Amino acid sequence: MLGHCANCDTPLDPGGHPALYCCEYCKSYAKDVRFFRARERDGRAKDPDIREALNIRMAHLVVGGYSSEARRVAPAMRSAVLAANDGLCLACNKAPATEVDHISGPGGERENL
C-alpha cells in the first residue's frame, strides 16, 4: 500500500524523505528475507556452515535485529586491530590477520574487537 512500510505496513511520514521502510529494523528484516530466499534458490542453504549462518541471522531478527551501522568498525580501528599481535591471526597465531570480529555485541570499542 502506498505510504506504508513495505515490511510491516506501518504508515510512513508523508512529509519525510521517500522511503520503503519505516525503520532500520524493517529494512534489515526485508534484506535478510531476500538473502534467505537467495540461499534456498542457489542451493547453498543445504551447506551446514551456511545453514548455521542463516540460523544466527534469524536469531538476531527474532530478538529485534542487529544493526549493520552498529557493527561498522572505523578504518583506523580496523587497521590497529589487524596490526596487533604482530599482524598475526589470534586463533592460530600463524596466518596473517585478515578479519576483525566483535567479542560481545556490536560495539566498536578496541576492547570488544
Q: What is the pLDDT of residues 20-37, one digit of tens each?
A: 999 888 888 888 899 999
Cα gap 58→40, rounded to integer Å: 14
Model confidence pLDDT, tens digit, residues 65-91: 767 677 788 899 889 999 998 999 888
Interaxial angle between packed helices 48-62 and 24-41, expressed in degrees from 0 to 180 and rounded to the nearest 10 = 160
Cα gap 60→32, rounded to integer Å: 10
Half-sphere exposure of 92 (CA within 13 A, CB side): 6
- Residue 57 reports pLDDT greater than 60: yes
Q: Would you state the cell numbers that stand for residue 92, as one nine-digit string?
A: 592460530
- Where do the domains of the chain lie? 24-66, 73-112
- Residue 2 reports pLDDT greater than 70: no
Mean pLDDT value of segment 51-74: 81
Task: Return mean pLDDT, the chain.
Answer: 86
